[in-house]
Amino acid sequence: MPATQKPMIALEQPGLTYGQLDLLARGKASLRLAASAETALAKGRRHIDEIRASGKRIYGITTGLGALSDVLLSGEEQTALSRNMLLSHACGMGDPLPHAQVRAIMIALVNDLCRGHSGVSPAPVHGLVACLNAGITPVVPSQGSVGYLVHEAHIGLCLIGVGEAELAGKRVTAAEALKASGLMPVALGAKDGLCLTNGTRSPTGLTALALAEAERLARWADATAAMSFEALGGQTDAIDPELLALKPYPGLIQVGINLRCLLAGSEILARSQGLRTQDALSLRSIPQIHGASLDQLAHVARQVETELRSASDNPLVIEGKGGLRILSNAHPHGQSLAFAADLMSLAVAELGSAAERRLDRLINPLVSGLPPFLVRKGGVNSGMMIAQYAAASLASENRILGRPAILDHAVTSGLQEDDVSFATPAAQKSLKIIDNVYRILAIELLLAAQALEFHRPARFGQGTGRLHARLRQRIPAFDEDRFLSPDLAAAEAFLRDESELAELDQALAGGT
């Protein structure tokens, strides 16, 4: 495959995985609809047309929306409602969402509609796929969603040539972006506006994106923890495989494997054994803390995968034993996703909190056995003192963000929607926490690498030594005070570099 050609992911009717959504959202793959998805779309639309022709009273198709659900609409009004719904619901505010987050919502929207139960016209779905593959990203304000509607409405507007979009790094009108890509604005039919805005697409896309990032982050947390454990002369009894097997949580066992793999062959640890009866909890409970987070992420994965196999519109078309039916329902309620995103926030924040406690020990000569603040000439040099302040600030911010969004409630739409989930804000704050933990781990990485310098010429662990060497290709050791912020940014870039993650995964692949 040529280097410029992206892999193509086919969306089958059963739906995407969160890993596929993550690749698509980050622009690592292109999307096409498989025959099963096209068939489901066409069949669902035929059902809607049949039901409309019957003259039945149907929410959002022959009636208004929300508190206006008792207002009956004519045929022309049903079509006009689709456009008007996008215009009225696109009331987001604040800074735009990052590209990957917008794309994640778009992909989750396509995935949901291709279940075939929404009854959307195929044209809007084809338009979304075309925009994704052409690199057209609607400008979507980040604030204003209690769980659904607002972000999706801004995306829907782009399809009809209203609002703004980004294309090739430039912010232009949506109409200009479509024209430059050889695309035409989509003509909406009855129910299409509702299909584009309703459901759990925003929290599904954002939570899936966050989950994939959190899984990558968790592997780095084990790696930076291993470096700190080694630099502080950790007692390896705490990661003994027979000991850990007595508490057989899957995550705990996996973290133990990872640590032993990274630390194998360390002369530093070999000569440190027996110096203490036991280490502080931030060192000896790495498997227990990190492992618990891994187990929670596994639960989140099950929730997200279920949502990606779900239809979340209202109303939904069902063809079953009772014949063809269209039912009003509450599937757009994002309670399960809100719980999952809140749980993920806690799991990731705890990885950051544990890292901050470890890196604090690295700079404290009372417990580290190393030069104060990891610099040889203390006094004239402050060394890594204030880097720990930055980590403490980030960890504190995470504790603020960690408050469960699911506990919040609001009454909207004139008492019609009187229990909303806040699933989208829950997903958004999980993404912020993940960014913060990346930065905490970057600080731990930088400090642990500096601490290991004081153990030379002893041999580092197989994995930690490999990681240390690759980091030193980007960031030199610290001999005296220098402008530290660029080093921290470089350390964060190192952790976010997929080639470095691939190197780490190779190091972890030989774990025992």
308-322 tens-digit pLDDT: 999 999 889 998 888
**Is it the case that residue 142 has pLDDT exceeding 50?**
yes
Instruction: Write down the architecture of domain 8-198 according to CATH.
Output: Orthogonal Bundle (1.10)
Active site annotation includes 59: yes
* Domain ranges, ordered by start, for the chain: 8-198, 211-310+329-509
> Which carries the bigger pLDDT value, residue 196 or residue 374?
196
Phi, psi (rounded to 5 degrees) for 431: -65, -35
Average pLDDT over residues 381-390: 89
**CA atoms of 192 and 121, how far apart (whole Å):** 6
Check 59, 249, 389, 438 and give the catalytic one. 59
Among positive and negative, which fits the CA dihedral 284, 289, 294, 295?
Answer: positive
Helix axes of 485-496 and 462-472: crossing angle, nearest 10 degrees? 120
Show Cβ contacts of residue 310 under 8 Å, excluding neighbours closer than 6 positions: 112, 115, 200, 331
Q: How confident is the model at residue 2 (pLDDT cuts 50, 70, 90)?
A: very low
| Domains 8-198 and 211-310+329-509 are alike in CATH topology | no
Least trusted range by pLDDT, from 26-35, 61-70, 494-503: 61-70
Least trusted range by pLDDT, from 144-148, 197-201, 338-342: 144-148
3-state secondary structure of 61: coil
**Is it the case that residue 412 has pLDDT exceeding 80?**
no
Classified by CATH at the fold level, domain 211-310+329-509 comes out as Fumarase C; Chain A, domain 2 (1.20.200)
**CA atoms of 495 and 475, how far apart (whole Å):** 13
**Is it the case that residue 249 has pLDDT exceeding 50?**
yes
Q: Is-contact 436 397, C-beta < 8 A?
A: yes
**CA atoms of 481 and 381, how far apart (whole Å):** 6
Average pLDDT over residues 63-83: 80
